[in-house]
Structure 1
Amino acid sequence: MTTNEDVLLREVDEDLNQEKQLAFLRRYGPWLAGVGVAVVIGVGVLQYMSHAEDRAIARSAERYAAAVEETEQNPIVGAEALAQVSTELDGGYEVLADIRTANLYLAGDEKTKALDKLAEVYDDNGVPVHWRDLARLRAAMVQLETNPSQASLLANDVSTPAFAPYAREVEALAAMAVEDYETAYNRFLALSGDAEVPPSLATRARMVLPVVDAGRKGVALEPTQTEAESFISDFSRQLAAEQAAEAEESEDAETNGSE
């Protein structure tokens, strides 16, 4: 069964496949050129293969793949191994390793470690903005229940257009969590009527609106602990899946734009 982590990091498999292809070309490129196949490969790829930086990225891809395989065999041990490997990777794989490590920590109920790892990503000015924003959004989701004020602050710092609607949703939920129903209502209302937000998000906003409206009118909203946990769990799963899709589209667009 596909997990949120698998969906979130689907693009990694594509990246690894590309790096493996490049490793093959590096090894057999001269021979292929000798028999005239270099015409098919293209000048751009041959130039790309010649750079030491790209060779370093290929090595990072191999190390990353090995570390990920270890996490699949033993998630607890693998999380620590992946965290260590992330400090030695290049080419964006260090960021992917950090985000995957945070997910593994969360799966093992090690929330503090997960938040620390996500903070390493979003506090690093050298990391691409969309990855930093994804880390912020993940951290905000984690803190919705226990620290809604911090969740709101993190969500407010998200600037990537693809993630902005989800950040607004987190802010609305954070306001709801601290019983600021007026603010929550206005935010959900804006989301429900915004043609620019994903349809599923607008639908969720419309579903929550009557509840928030009752709260701002003085109706006591006291769901059972089980209901509250179920709502947060369902919301987190759905939001994580949607974020993953947006992250993949953003990464694909960036890759296509650089070609």
Structure 2
Amino acid sequence: MAEDNIFREVDEELRSDRMRALWRRVGPFVIGAAVAIVAVVAVNEGWSWYASSQAARSSDELYAALQTADGDDLAAAQAEFDALAADGSGGYPVLAEFAKASLLARQGDTEGAVAAYDALANDQSNVRLRELALLQSARILVDTGTLADVESRIGTIASDDNPMRRVARELIGLAQFKAGDNEAARTSFEDVLNDPLAQEGIRNRVAFYLAQMTSAGLIVEDTTTDAEVAADAIDALVDGDEAAPAAQP
């Protein structure tokens, strides 16, 4: 019995020695891995806090610059937007670039504003931001450029599958009207008016354009009623039925 106890104690000592030896070999790696995990979590949390604080700072700077612009101190606002575009966080530098282009237009530098919007469009990987910049450029060119200038920028945006097609068609219609192509302008405006997804605001605008063009005699209002269209369709069907027997052998 005593021998069993001795052997058990010796066995436990051997196990303890082996565990200590194993720990000496792998312990540093286990501790290192734990420290690394803690460090990664700490860095991630620190970066999240830093990114959030930077975004909050950029948001405050953008708001302050917009307030400055609203106060008509355009030179100071331009400087604030320049600083935000250079050092801002997240998407705020892009917003600052849009605001800078808008300020140029507001100051009467339409050529500079168009160039700024075009540069924004060329630099954007985000399709919608690129299209927004092109629409802003085209909006200015409706007044200062040619129909070709407008169409070259937003012609593809006016396609049926583009969510911004209604604004593009409105601007193209205005450019067509300015160029004297009244029928083309009418078609563009009616495309907007007949779009089931068009919002009330843009519907009201294009309806106003069409009413003004009609009152000025630039386009002839289609006075054909639904009843007349239906009667013509019935007549065509009747004529077709009467002609059918004659065609049989």
Question: Structure 1 length as normaliser, TM-score?
Answer: 0.56
Alignment RMSD, CA only? 2.9
The CA deviation at 1:176 is 1.0
CA contact (8 A) 2:58 2:84 kept: no
CA distance in 1, matches of 2:96, 2:164: 21
Alignment correspondent of 1:50: 47
CA contact (8 A) 1:136 1:158 kept: no
Higher gyration radius (CA): 2
CA contact (8 A) 1:75 1:104 kept: yes
Matches within 5 A, 1:204-223: 204-212=205-213, 214-216=217-219
Q: Call closer, same or farther: CA 1:48–1:114 in 2, change over 3 Å.
A: farther
The CA deviation at 1:92 is 0.9
Alignment correspondent of 2:132: 134
Q: 1:148 aligns with which of 140, 146, 149?
A: 146
What letter is aligned with 2:134? Answer: R
CA distance in 2, matches of 1:152, 1:97: 26
The CA deviation at 1:111 is 1.4
The CA deviation at 1:181 is 1.6
What letter is aligned with 2:192? Answer: L
SS for the counterpart of 1:200 is helix
Using CA pairs under 8 Å that are at least 6 residues apart, name the structure with larger relative contact order, 1 or 2: 1
Task: String of CA shifts for 1:107-154, please: whole Å, max 9, x gaps.
Answer: 21121222222122111133x222222211111111102213212222
Question: Structure 2 length as normaliser, TM-score?
Answer: 0.58
Q: Call closer, same or farther: CA 1:48–1:104 in 2, change over 3 Å.
A: farther
CA distance in 2, matches of 1:208, 1:66: 38
SS for the counterpart of 2:197 is coil
Unaligned runs of 5+ in 1: 1-45, 218-259
CA distance in 1, matches of 2:45, 2:130: 27
The CA deviation at 1:89 is 2.7
Unaligned runs of 5+ in 2: 1-42, 221-249
Alignment correspondent of 1:171: 172
Using the aligned pairs only, state the percent identity: 20
SS for the counterpart of 1:158 is helix
Alignment correspondent of 1:96: 95
Aligned residues: 171
Alignment correspondent of 2:107: 108
